[in-house]
A and B are shown apart, each in its own frame.
Chain A
């Protein structure tokens, strides 16, 4: 079965703290794709990153970094030195083309609140 779990419903931090958002996935496919999207209070869904299952290299983009670990089926997202503008709902998503076609299966989302 295809499933994405974001166990943290809500996280509150103070500005400049580092925060990690967890994502655990399940799939029987050997080739699959993982994504993170951000949904700020304005409501749009903003693509952040795509990671292919055959590429386990971690990625850093400014204050954002992603840790993909196939052994634990996790794709965690860390924000370093958080800012108020990082406050949003963050979604992890999975695409398994062979098993389920091109649809994205989303986790329930993690609400991140960054206080000044």
Chain B
């Protein structure tokens, strides 16, 4: 009965590879997000989808492409991985409204070698 889940939890890969991270929420929320946490613990928004429509796209390299097949899923595909992509990636979800609160998944720790 996990609210926001991500797979995989850990991802170790070589430079140049392509990888995907999956996110699912069972809270019935209409908005999902991807955040990146760097080695200094700084958290920054990457993307946001509302009802499968992209609404936030921060300055992120084109190698990162989010895909939302439905309201409950938001996947992140990364092409041509670079060393600097090593980070923890968090998925989150929320229901737009006055009491909106973002709930986060457990994070995916990506290490690019």
Contacts and interface: CB of A to CB of B under 8 A. Distances in A.
B83 interface: no
Contacts, number: 58
B101 A47 contact: yes
B94 A43 contact: no
A90 to B, nearest CB: 11
Q: Determine the interface band of chain B, counting residues with CB < 8 A from chain A.
A: 20 to 34
A105 B92 CA distance: 14
Instruction: Report, as a range, how many residues of chain A touch the other chain.
Output: 20 to 34
A102 B104 contact: no
B113 interface: no
B106 A102 contact: no
B65 to A, nearest CB: 18
Contact of A103 (B56, B88, B96, B101): B56
Interface of A: 33, 35, 37, 39, 43-47, 50, 52, 89, 91, 95, 101-106, 108-109
B contacts with A: majority SS: strand
A44 B31 contact: no
Contacts of B96: 102
Given A50-B101, A101-B48, A44 B43 contact: no
B1 interface: no
Interface string B91-113: 01010101111111111010000
Contacts of A37: 104
Nearest to A111: B41
B107 A43 contact: yes
| Chain A to chain B: the 9 pairs with minimum beta-carbon distance, closest first | A45-B104, A103-B45, A106-B43, A44-B106, A109-B41, A50-B101, A43-B107, A103-B56, A101-B56
